Chain A
């Protein structure tokens, strides 16, 4: 076992963690950034599409390039990075247990920022364990990180932004998309993403879902059908699609295990994707010195993750360095204004109401 020390430990090198580390380090704190992957960037490294948002959120820049921008920032700030390193425990007195290349590390920190991201949700249907059934995020990784085509023809289940964007990227990779099915009566993601795949002839079937996957050793087809108002399949509406791949884009759940172990208070919030740590506007949890940011604090997207990361990083560094406090306060103020403006539209409503509930329950 090896021991190390740092001031601020950041768990996760995605948009939230990179932003938190860069800000905290620029405010003078000694920062260690831990990520289980071989490279930094989190999910950004497969986001080949241009991002939304405004200039401050790197709008119009592709996710893959934002990963590079943030990584450069972190390297310039001389943040220590531990890659290929998995946080396996958060113990008393702010000690992290880390498994790096089969060696166990104990990292003593003064502040911990959990920016671990999310996991893909699964859907129950017969034969969902056949090879050829993937999470949409996994397919995106296969294609855009490793250059592997997942199949010949795909059924996409779910029309949120991930389902729509991955469908478009499948088309770009030369893979056919048989249809996108969506259980809800309206398209879940941005309509511009929907229109993009519609122009390539991909049908988006709302009030439809997958009945079952067909196949012996792998996916050879899928049966879909229409849903009534009570979410029951309407008999006689079944259609069999000739597909060899089924992609599930049915939502994400925050990764909050480490927070659970730390003893901070968690609540189940469907609008934020599942179990989330109760936190305040500065992203502090109910456990002093432990912060949360990005999808781990409730499912949203990369722009808000970066802003939350900035807030958490600034607050953590400001609490350690009195001389940096006024600058930290300025960073937090700006990021909070940006967050409010970003969440002000209809797509921000769930996060807006979910986060408000969290902030109020923290006060109580």
Chain B
């Protein structure tokens, strides 16, 4: 027995290592490769679309926070998410400005439940999100169209509107005069932010105009958030400490990154959409595994004589198994690449129609690639049994 196996081992070591068996098998039949690649591509596309949706919901709900133009942000400690009205007293804002190390502090006023935009589409009032800024203060948002146009808000009753708002609000149309809570406002410009799950559209106005709607003055208006920029060479953590010490305990000082993290934690905890998309991605994975198995099974059945021959001349199961798994992975990649490219188009079209920030990211790319390779590997391993069972004596 030992005497028999030794020379076989010796033969195996003599194998022409540079013959890329997996690759040759893969490209041997172009038509079959195209078919296999299409089958896998659709499963991959399904996963990519689902993962993309999952991510875009998240991205959309974080969009406003991520565009805050500052190093530190102060808001009420009891504010559980960014999108809820819970402002603090203006006198605390005065305190903020006195803390050492701060270059500028800009107030942000916001409201999510009290403003109704009369849509030119149906002439009916629709709830919109409103952000109000001091046009003389540094820009609160780095959103193009807000930062560079905020001086236009100095004219009373002027507003900027989000051209990416949901279509039924008609903000993408050519509007110059509009009504907000029945009051005529002048549209001084547009910006692009996009809706999230809570708000269909966004209007930006000056603090004076905002105060007018609440029958008060800008100086008396409670502030939703203070957006702070530091002097050069200041340590954010130290200024954060000084601010926390100077302010009452009802206020909380976030670094920009902390605020984004805080909001994304809330969204992750609350979002009921995420599991739906994960389920979809899982189904894509299962379908992909089945398709991939089917491909490998056929492939191995058809090449059984060749595998048996290889075995007969001394190649070991380990070598053949490696070749099969390599081929399975290569098939996966052959399906992945076209799916990824096609998905760019799908994201573009669907993102445009649904006003969702559907973008190809490293996260989605790597996650879907890992899932694809995982499903092909799994399918390859199940299909392997046939090669291992191949008996050179029986096959012919």
A binds B: no
